Structure 1
Amino acid sequence: MATLYTHNELRMFPIPNELLYHITDSLQDDIVSLKACSLVSRPWQSAARAHVLSSITIHKHDDDARSLTAFVHFLASSHSMRPLVKNLRMLAVECSVHDVYSVLLQLPQCQTLALHVCEIKPSGPGDLFPAPPFPHLVALCYVECIFLRSWHAAFQLVGLFGHITELSFQNVVKEDAFPRIAASTDPPDARSHKTSVESLKYDLATPYAREDLQKVSLQWLDLRFLLSLQIARGPSMVEQRSDQLFLDSAVALRQLRLDADQYVSTDVLGPDAPPSLKSCTKLEAITFSLRLSWRNHLVGAKLSNVGMLLKSLPQDTQLSAVRFDIIIDKDILAQNYSTHVQRLNWQPFLQCLHRISSVTHVGIACRHPKHRSMM
């Protein structure tokens, strides 16, 4: 016989916190379910809000300055929300460094900052920041951002942090009123410090990228603790001397990724000299990205330069892995890519590799530009 309970007799027994957080953790990518969980009870609301509010995105508005100010005031009055935000993303926003600083000041637990297609202005002379106001940031990423007149805004923002685990520049552009005039470097302010980084990525695939980006970053960044460096470029390449300064400064470098295509000029068939790795005594793995097209004679010259680069390693090198990320051009059929790879003249590279006794792994991965690895 069924037992009937009145409304007053119904009780909800609390779920242990371990189980409650396990449930919400498994739903961290399902915002709809998390919002439904937050309506169950106060404990469920607290557990769900930690994921719902962990990442926020600020979108472009008709009046970005006013909307950012209103958002800062909202955060200042939301004491329970501020510690929950871990990731901040700004999308197509026109702002200054001081605007970003004002937002970060209200997010004490923010770990990552990503700026996508933003137009960033440097802070004015009256904007004073402590040095540094924030001790650590896990990741700072610029994606297709526009910096007005100079790279000063980019590194003013970098200078807000004492240490950045991962710093990335992807397709960034510096707008210059006089593009034909060589851009001057921007020395840091007298109150500025050098921000230490562990992982640094330069992927300047646009022809408008200025050649002084690396030179400016050398003035703002402390590379003594740099463990991973990736330099990939397109038509507008940073000169080889800047690469050398980077490699000489990164004495703790463990992983290096270079674009091997940069070591052969597109105008002259003669190869450009690659940088030296004589200072990279702790290098453990190096990856070369290489584009394979029907002009295999150019690829052969690039492989020779890769061998020259490996020759420059010190005798006590700890290098254990050499990898090639080969990008197959559309003029080569996918069915025949292995044949083209086998036809390459690997002999100069292998001869240089024989002198490095510490290498235990050599890998080759082939892929189309917009696809994953094919082998």
Structure 2
Amino acid sequence: MSITPCQGGVISTPAVAQTSSQAPTQKLLPELVDHVIDHLHDDIASLATCALVGREWTTTARFHRFSTLKVHLQHDNYAMLGEVLSSTPEIRSLVRELWIAAPWGDDPPDPALPNMGLLTWLPVMEATEEVVLAGYVLERDGDYDYDLSPYLPSLKRLGIHKCRFGVGVLDIMSRSFPHIDTVRLLSVARLLREPRPPRSSGSIMMPPVHLRELDVSAYDTPAYVLRHASEWMLRHPSAELLQTLRFQSTFYCTHEAQPMLDLFGPLNLNALYIGISAYVQPYYRDKFDVSPQTTASLERCTNLRVLSVTIQMYDLEQEWPPVLLCVQLILQSLASPALETLIIATRGYLGKPIPIEIIQELDWKAIQTALQGKPLPNLRSIIIRGKGDLNELTATLKEKCPELYMRGLFKFASLPSQLEYDLRT
């Protein structure tokens, strides 16, 4: 009931009930909706549910759902996927990263399955900027047509993961994309030095003309993969463009990257990430040693701003001394006045963190002497990444390199959170 005043007194009138359908609804702010969906970026089922809430939710949910598209040629219905992409340009335009995984094995790929040259199921991906090929066996130049440019006209980044291939194949791919600036060769099982079959005389294999970043690592880190990648990179037509270099090597063959360091180091190479593996096959364990001749030197890398050295251990039973000596020699060869950040990290199998006690075993007194003996006016932080006792690490550094410690250079990044802590606070 409600009370309404009138001239003769008051009269009562029945109140009109407000139904739930008439109640005003409040919409979440678009920024808040985006923030919520951002947290679901890798949860496909939840993203699909969010896309059904309303138009405002659909755009953001679709962006996360289709920005990275992964296709396995053996298990997925790639033909149907191709039809969907062809008929939905609004979804096709969202795909920025495309993974194509082939069946992996020692035998030649099944001819009934599509491979590099049989991408007729794939429509033109106008917006795709990165493609990753995984598990391929691409050892002969003439077996397939490796020119992917008709399907990927905007490609800028090329990744090849867990594949066996030749530099000739890599050369053909890189020539297909005039704007490619990043090449990642990760967990490479085999890298052939020469094309198969041999090309005609006068054919020179070279990296993409605009290449700015290279990342190379090998499965079980065989030395020849890094060696052949270095030989290929020496033919870079615009060496001054390379800015970032990442490579992983066993402790006894980091010198295989020396040709790249000598070429790009004095130019514009400003970020260098080195992974040093402790893995050695048992029957090779007594055949390799660490020395200045087998260790990469950074003396010609005079424009580095970031240097990262990661110790890769598969288990704590492996020998530390040769790995530590390799790290020691690399750090002592630093010669870049522009250096701002030095990162020393530990990593275990599949990226899992391992105790930083390995880092504490480094000769920090010698490292301090080496760093203080060189002009490094821009050095702002020495970041240690790993898993371990922060107090014990602080005590070790404070005792063994007090000058660097008092300058407040040391920071500790606890994995996997990556939160950095100033060791003086």
TM-score normalized by structure 1?
0.69
| Cα distance in 2 for residues equivalent to 1:60 and 1:134 | 18
Which structure 2 residues correspond to residues 9-158 of structure 1 after superposition, within 5 A?
24-25=37-38, 27-40=40-53, 45-46=58-59, 48-61=61-74, 71-72=81-82, 74-93=84-103, 96-99=115-118, 103=122, 106-120=124-138, 124=142, 127=145, 137=155, 139-147=157-165, 150-158=166-174
* Structure 1 Cα separation of the partners of residues 369 and 39 of structure 2: 51
CA contact (8 A) 2:187 2:217 kept: yes
Q: C-alpha separation between the residues in 1 aligned to 2:328 and 2:29?
A: 63
- Who is 1:353 aligned against? 371
Q: By how many angstroms is 1:146 displaced?
A: 2.7
Deviations 1:170-192 (A, max 9, x none): 2112277xxxxxx4368895798
The residue number in structure 2 matching 1:173 is 189
Q: Specify the SS of the correspondent of 1:152.
A: helix
- 1:267 aligned residue (287, 291, 294): 287
- How many residue pairs get aligned? The number is 347
1:212 aligns with 2:233: no
Q: Does 1:258 align with 2:258?
A: no
Residue 362 (1) aligns with residue 376 (2)? no
Separation in 2, partners of 1:301, 1:207: 19
* Structure 1 unmatched ranges of 5 or more: 177-182
- Alignment correspondent of 1:306: 330
Tell me the amino acid that sits aligned with residue 212 of structure 1: H
Q: 1:16, 1:362 → 2: CA distance?
A: 41
* Deviation at residue 28 of structure 1 after TM alignment: 4.0
Deviations 1:268-298 (A, max 9, x none): 5451423443442321121223468785653
**Residues 43 and 324 from structure 1, CA distance in 2 versus in 1: closer, same or farther, beyond 3 angstroms?**
closer
- The change in CA–CA distance for 1:151 and 1:16 in structure 2 (over 3 A counts) is same
Alignment of 1:180-329 (within 5 A): 183-184=193-194, 194-206=208-220, 210=225, 211-219=227-235, 222-234=238-250, 237=253, 240=255, 242-250=257-265, 251-259=267-275, 267-269=287-289, 271-273=291-293, 274-290=295-311, 297-298=321-322, 301-310=325-334, 313=335, 317-326=337-346
Maintained 8 Å contact 1:205/1:232: no
TM-score in terms of structure 2 length: 0.62
**Which residue identity does 1:157 align to in structure 2?**
M
Whole-angstrom distance in 2 between the partners of 1:255 and 1:40 = 44
Aligned AA (1:89): W
Is the 1:155–1:217 Cα contact (8 Å) retained in structure 2? Answer: no
Higher relative contact order (Cα pairs below 8 Å, separated by 6+ residues)? 1
* Residues 275, 126 of structure 1: alpha-carbon distance in 2 compared, 3 angstrom cutoff: closer
Deviations 1:182-205 (A, max 9, x none): x43688957987342333222214
Does structure 1 conserve the Cα–Cα contact (< 8 Å) formed by 2:117 and 2:145? yes
For each residue in 1:226-256, what CA deviation from the matched residue of structure 2 results, as whole angstroms up to 9, or x when unmatched?
A: 2221221248957x35432344135211121
**Alpha-carbon separation, structure 1, partners of 2:28 and 2:216:** 48
Identity %: 18
Q: Which runs of 5+ in 2 are unaligned?
A: 1-15, 104-108, 389-414
Contact map agreement 2:102 2:134 (CA 8 A) in 1:
yes
Distance 2:126 2:290 in 1: 53
